[in-house]
C-alpha cells in the first residue's frame, strides 16, 4: 500500500515537472529559438541581396530593349524572399517572409501563401504569422488600424501597403479572405492587395484575424527607406 | 517482487536510483545533476518539438495547409 502511494506521488511530481518544463518551452524557449532563426533568415537575405546587387547593373544593359522584363523566378519553397516592417507593431519590428505556410516554415518567420500573388503584383499577396509562440510575431495584431503602413522589401524595391480594413474575425475555413479580390474586405476591383492572417483568440485556434491592405507606393531601395519607416 | 524494481518498501523510485548510483554523496549528487540535465535536453530537443504542433498555437492560416 505504501509503495503504491509513494509511486503514484512520485509519478505526479514527475509529470508535474514535465508539464512545467513544457510550458517554459512553449512560452519562452520557442521565442528564444525563433528570434535566433529569424535573425539568421534576415542575415541570409541581406547577404543574398548584397551579392546579387552588383552583377545585374552591368549585365542588364544588353537586354534592356526587350519588350517586357523577364518573368521573375518563383519563390523557393521554405526560403526567405522579403522582409516585412510594420511600424505599428514596433519601430524595430521586422520579420522575414518565407515561401509557404508549412508548420516548419512558420517557425522561421512569416509565411507567404504559395498560391497567392507575388509581392507588389496584381492580386493578393497573403501572409500568415504566429500570434503566440515562436517569437510572437503577430502578438499585437489587434492594434493594427486603417491607414497603418505595412512595408516590405525584396532587396530591390520597397513596397508600402496601407491597411484598409482592420482586424476582421473569421473562421478558419473562410479561404475567400485570401482571394485575389477578397470580397468581405470591401474591395470590388482587381488590384494589388495584401492580406495578413493570424489566429484568434490569442492562444486558441477557433478563429482567424485578418487585415487587408492595398499597395500605396513603391520605390527602389536606392531611394532610401520609405516615408513610413522614417522617424 | 512487484511490478516495479523499487518494490522493496524502503523508498520510491528516486530513492532507488540514488541507492544504485556509485560513489560518495558528492559524486552521486553530480551524477544526478547530469541525469537531470540529460533528461531536460532530450525533452527540449526531441519530445517538446514533437508535441508542440499538436497544440492549437500553430493554426494561423485560413486554408489549413
Rounded to an integer, the average pLDDT of B1-29 is: 78
- Residue A157's DSSP bridge partners are A220
Domain ranges, ordered by start, for chain A:
28-55+73-229
Residue of A10, A116, A170, A210 to mutate when probing chain B, most B C-beta within 10 A: A10
User: What is the Cα–Cα distance from B63 to A74, expressed in whole angstroms?
Assistant: 21
Residue B29 above 80 pLDDT? yes
Report residue A94 CA to chain centroid gap. Answer: 9
Q: Do A3 and B65 touch (CB under 8 A)?
A: no
Question: What per-residue confidence (pLDDT) applies to A205?
Answer: 84
Q: Do B43 and A3 touch (CB under 8 A)?
A: no
Q: Do A10 and B52 touch (CB under 8 A)?
A: no
For residues A163 and A147, the answer to whether their CB atoms sit within 8 Å is yes
Q: Do B57 and A208 touch (CB under 8 A)?
A: no
Residue B14: closest C-alpha in chain A? A10
- A157: cell is 524595391
Report residue A43 CA to chain centroid gap. Answer: 16
Residues of A in Cβ contact (< 8 Å) with B61: 101, 111, 113, 128, 172, 197, 208
The distance in angstroms from the start CA to the end CA of chain B is: 52
Give domain A28-55+73-229's CATH architecture.
Beta Barrel (2.40)
Question: What per-residue confidence (pLDDT) applies to A65?
Answer: 43
Task: Please report whether residue B40 resides in a domain.
Answer: yes
User: What is the Cα–Cα distance from B28 to A14, expressed in whole angstroms?
Assistant: 20
Per-residue pLDDT of chain A (231 residues; tens, 9 = 90+): 777 888 889 999 999 999 999 999 988 999 999 999 999 999 999 999 988 765 544 444 444 444 455 566 788 999 999 999 999 999 889 999 999 998 889 999 999 999 899 998 999 999 999 998 898 999 999 999 999 999 999 989 999 999 998 899 999 888 889 999 998 888 999 999 999 999 888 888 889 999 999 999 999 998 888 988 887
- Smallest CA–CA distance, residue B60 to chain A, in Å, is 4
Question: What per-residue confidence (pLDDT) applies to B4?
Answer: 64
For residue B50, the enclosing domain spans 13-58
Q: Do B56 and A173 touch (CB under 8 A)?
A: no
Q: Report the sign of the C-alpha dihedral through residues B49, A204, A39, A122, in that order.
A: positive
Residues of A in Cβ contact (< 8 Å) with B2: 3
Question: What per-residue confidence (pLDDT) applies to A4?
Answer: 83
For residues A196 and A182, the answer to whether their CB atoms sit within 8 Å is no
Task: Please report whether residue B17 resides in a domain.
Answer: yes
For residues B40 and A21, the answer to whether their CB atoms sit within 8 Å is yes
Task: Please report whether residue B8 resides in a domain.
Answer: no
Closest CA to A152 of A131, A127, A129, A133: A127
- Residue A197's DSSP bridge partners are A128, A210
Task: Please report whether residue B63 resides in a domain.
Answer: no
Number of domain units in chain B: 1
Question: What per-residue confidence (pLDDT) applies to A43?
Answer: 94
Q: Do B62 and A10 touch (CB under 8 A)?
A: no
Rounded to an integer, the average pLDDT of B21-44 is: 94
User: What is the Cα–Cα distance from A182 to B45, expressed in whole angstroms?
Assistant: 41
Residues of A in Cβ contact (< 8 Å) with B43: 18, 21-22, 25
Closest CA to A150 of A181, A192, A183: A192
Question: What per-residue confidence (pLDDT) applies to B1?
Answer: 46
For chain B, what is the mean pLDDT?
82
Least CB–CB distance from A130: residue in B12, B57, B64: B57
Contacts of A35 (CB under 8 A, 6+ apart): A135
For residues A144 and A163, the answer to whether their CB atoms sit within 8 Å is yes
Closest CA to A197 of A56, A101, A89: A101
Rounded to an integer, the average pLDDT of B23-41 is: 94
Question: What per-residue confidence (pLDDT) applies to A20?
Answer: 95
Residue A9: closest C-alpha in chain B? B12
The residues of A that are catalytic are 130, 199
Alpha helical stretches, state H, chain A: 2-24, 30-52, 55-59, 103-106
Amino acid at each position: 500500500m505504501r509503495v503504491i502511494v509513494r509511486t503514484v506521488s512520485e509519478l505526479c511530481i514527475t509529470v508535474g515537472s514535465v508539464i512545467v518544463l513544457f510550458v517554459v518551452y512553449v512560452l519562452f524557449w520557442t521565442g528564444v529559438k525563433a528570434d535566433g532563426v529569424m535573425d539568421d533568415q534576415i542575415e541570409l537575405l541581406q547577404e543574398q541581396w548584397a551579392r546579387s546587387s552588383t552583377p545585374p547593373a552591368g549585365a542588364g544593359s544588353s537586354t534592356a530593349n526587350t519588350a517586357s522584363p523577364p518573368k521573375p523566378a518563383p519563390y523557393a519553397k521554405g526560403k526567405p524572399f522579403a522582409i516585412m516592417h510594420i511600424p505599428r507593431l514596433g519601430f524595430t519590428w521586422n520579420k522575414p517572409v518565407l515561401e509557404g505556410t508549412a508548420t516548419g516554415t512558420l517557425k522561421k518567420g512569416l509565411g507567404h501563401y504559395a498560391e497567392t500573388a507575388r509581392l507588389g503584383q496584381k492580386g493578393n499577396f497573403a501572409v500568415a504569422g504566429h500570434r503566440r509562440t515562436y517569437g510572437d510575431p503577430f502578438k499585437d495584431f489587434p492594434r493594427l488600424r486603417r491607414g497603418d503602413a505595412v512595408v516590405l522589401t525584396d532587396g530591390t524595391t520597397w513596397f508600402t501597403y496601407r491597411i484598409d480594413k482592420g482586424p476582421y474575425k473569421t473562421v478558419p475555413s473562410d479561404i475567400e479572405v485570401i482571394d485575389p479580390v477578397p470580397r468581405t474586405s470591401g474591395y470590388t476591383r482587381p488590384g494589388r492587395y495584401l492580406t495578413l492572417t493570424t489566429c484568434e483568440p490569442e492562444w486558441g485556434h477557433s478563429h482567424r484575424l485578418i487585415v487587408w491592405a492595398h499597395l500605396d507606393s513603391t520605390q527602389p531601395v536606392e531611394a532610401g527607406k520609405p516615408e513610413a519607416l522614417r522617424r | 517482487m512487484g511490478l516495479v524494481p523499487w518494490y522493496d518498501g524502503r523508498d520510491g523510485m528516486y530513492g532507488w536510483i540514488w541507492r544504485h548510483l556509485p560513489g560518495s554523496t558528492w559524486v552521486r549528487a553530480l551524477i544526478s545533476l547530469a541525469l537531470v540535465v540529460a533528461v531536460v535536453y532530450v525533452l527540449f530537443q526531441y519530445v517538446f518539438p514533437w508535441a508542440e504542433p499538436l497544440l492549437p498555437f500553430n493554426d494561423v492560416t485560413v486554408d489549413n495547409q
